[in-house]
Amino acid sequence: MKTQTSSKKVISERVPTGVKTFDSLIEGGFKRNSVNLVVGGPGSGKTIFAIQFLYTGMVKYNENALYVTFEEKKEKLYDDMLSFGWDLKKLENQNKFVFLEYTPEQVKKLLVEGGGIVESIIEKYKIKRLVIDSITSFSLLYSDELAKKEASLALFEVINNWGCTAILTAQENKIDERSLSSSIDFEVDSIILLYHPRVDHTRSRAIEILKMRGTKHSGRIYSLSIDKNGISIKPGH
């Protein structure tokens, strides 16, 4: 029961993403300790968005970060991110950033163990921002929807226990609201869609906030660009 000692509205603590203009569209950032899903096709900018979120936390807010991947190779990722001025190797040497290459089977084992080595890393390095890139490979381990739903619920429960603000990426070649797993849709706190369609002979980029719990946000689709500073969103488009 709420007390009447103050008439002020309780405002959830926000975690800025560092994506230019995006934070102003979501009341300052993701909700603290939320689980957020970023969905897009190949080349849509999912990994860049996720790393920008982690880098911003480490450099601007002194929040250590963990990047769990099934697909990216460490040296290639580090090299690619240098083009944005993001020196992940330096941050790793400062014990601010942890890169963890996992197989989907290891994540499946992690759920059975209730956290395992990932939980140990989070405690040791005081991790506050987490990315799992991507959960698509993980979901393919389960043949039927019920098993997939149970695994998703178990994964979200584990993440919630870690006390991190998390981004999960998912690959969808053709984004359709119906194609998103209903179990994932129901459990995550927000769903961000990244589009990279081809119009005539040119591809364009766009972003949509499909869902974000407890947050006033626009239902519009905004133009998105990737330059030397990372991802930015063009307001009013």
Considering the domain boundaries, does residue 143 fall inside one? yes
110 vs 61: CA distance, rounded Å: 29
Considering the domain boundaries, does residue 17 fall inside one? no
Residue with tokens 């941050």: 91
Residue with tokens 């905004």: 222
Token pair in block for residue 56: 């911003």
Report, in this order, helix, strand and coil percent for the chain, each rounded to 5.
Answer: 35, 25, 35
Considering the domain boundaries, does residue 11 fall inside one? no
Q: Left (φ > 0), alpha (ψ -120 to 50) or beta: where does 180 sit?
A: beta
Q: What Cα–Cα distance (Å) separates residue 62 from each residue in 97, 100, 125?
A: 11, 20, 12
Its sign, for the CA torsion 224, 20, 122, 158, is negative
Considering the domain boundaries, does residue 41 fall inside one? yes
CA nearest neighbour of 126 among 172, 57, 227, 219: 57
Considering the domain boundaries, does residue 152 fall inside one? yes
Considering the domain boundaries, does residue 9 fall inside one? no
**ω before 24 within 30° of 0 (cis)?**
no
- 99, β-bridge pairs: 67
Per-residue model confidence as pLDDT tens for the chain (237 residues): 444 434 344 457 999 999 989 999 999 999 999 999 999 998 899 999 999 999 999 999 999 999 999 888 999 999 999 999 999 999 999 999 999 998 888 888 888 777 788 999 999 999 999 999 988 888 888 888 888 888 888 888 899 999 999 999 998 866 555 555 554 566 899 999 999 877 777 889 999 999 999 999 988 999 999 999 999 998 765
Do 14 and 226 form a contact (C-beta atoms < 8 A)?
A: no
Q: Which domain holds residue 89?
A: 32-234
Considering the domain boundaries, does residue 79 fall inside one? yes
**Which pairing describes strands 64-69 and 127-133: parallel, antiparallel, or unpaired?**
parallel
Q: Left (φ > 0), alpha (ψ -120 to 50) or beta: where does 45 sit?
A: left
Considering the domain boundaries, does residue 217 fall inside one? yes
Q: What is the CATH number of the domain that holds 75?
A: 3.40.50.300
211 vs 170: CA distance, rounded Å: 15
Q: What is the pTM of this model?
A: 0.89
pLDDT, tens digit, for every residue of 30-60? 999 999 999 999 889 999 999 999 999 999 9
Number of domains in the chain: 1
114 vs 120: CA distance, rounded Å: 11
